[in-house]
Structure 1
Amino acid sequence: MLAIVSGAPRALEGRSLMGDQLTVEIAAEAGPWIARAGEDVFDLLVLCGMSVDDQQAIVNGFHANRRWRLVPVLYVANDDSPGLAIPGTFRPEIDGIARGRLETPQVQKRIVELARDGIGSAELVVAGPFELDPLRGKLRLADLEVTLTEREAEILAILLAQPNRTVSSTEIIERGWGTGADARYLQILRRHVSNIRRKLQRTAAARSVRTVRGSGYRFDVKLAG
């Protein structure tokens, strides 16, 4: 994990081990790490000893790189901070908030919990102008974001991984459900595809999910006119 600790003495900077054999890189400044965000991706980002505004600015800097958008963030507030401000970049489904210092037991407990669920090695599925976050079920197109169920995200991930190519219904069912493509699962697949199309109906991707009669489906990455 990467811990940005504002004001950390130079002697504390560098790599060390935390409980449960967690490797942590401690740095006083985020700039150098943001500059090489495309090269180094961690399972958890911890921000300590800084204002909420500074935390948000750092997170926005990392999120300019797509893969960093999948990394959980632990926002650590100072002990003497009045109240507990929630950063605008906070995502309740994967991020955490704690109070104290990096070495505080309750902060280290939250670090262990979040690091165990770290998803820094996960990949976005990107094809043309489309960007799918399968873990959180979000399909992004320009400034638009569409929320998908877990199954819908699985189906789209399979199609987007082979853009503009027909993927057989059998392959989608075998990969998505881990079972054979009988009549029941074919009907379930059709229902999920119908729901996906409904969610995309008011977007530029309204006609992107195509049915190839007698075969399967494909995702056309070219924007509909």
Structure 2
Amino acid sequence: MAKILVVDDDSEMLQLVSASLTDEGHTVTSVSDGIAALIAAGGTDFDAAAIDVMLPEMTGFEICRRLRQSGNDFPIILVTARDAVDDRIFGLDSGADDYLTKPFSLAELNARLRAQLRRQAAPSASAPVLEAGDLQLDTTTVRARVAGRVVAFSVKEFSLLRFLVASAPEIRSRTDILAEVWGSPEHFDPTIVDQYISYVRKKLSAAGSVVSIATVRGVGYRADVPAPA
């Protein structure tokens, strides 16, 4: 069905996860460290990856960052015993698509991967380049410009901004945002949305954009885009 990269230095866990995914019909490449993971990704077009965070020498966060820097855009699920909100935010900022905390069931990991693969395969309803006010969002290159100048957003920040701008002037709830940007509203603290809204606001403001994000108390968030002059 899909080619999955699994990275874990715990040999027993690596074997269990790999066997479970193989039973689901996937082709699994299992490695125990970051260097091996990067080498594997350089030679195989993976469809998704499950990466343990606490690895020797190179953490799962670093592996995720390097994969994204190398242009690998397949879904990545980070697996870790660290469940603090700051850890989840750090993982998502590294380029991860989902975050699964230990202990977890193999059935849940399989379900999370299926959800990510469905989202990856679904055709995008949005145009390749979304323009609003002085903001231009290129969904192909995941690059944002304000008045022609490139503004650096993380993958999650970009996805959040794109969703709100594409929805404008509609108000989007935290649940809507979690479902669209993170893919699983049931498994994330809704306050993570507030944190990312703050990141995006600061970057839009620093860039001098006319586009802003409004808070509608008790409802959610809305992108405010001035009408053309």
**Smaller-chain TM-score range?**
0.3 to 0.5
TM-score (norm 2): 0.44
TM-score (norm 1): 0.45
Which has a greater percent of helix? Answer: 2
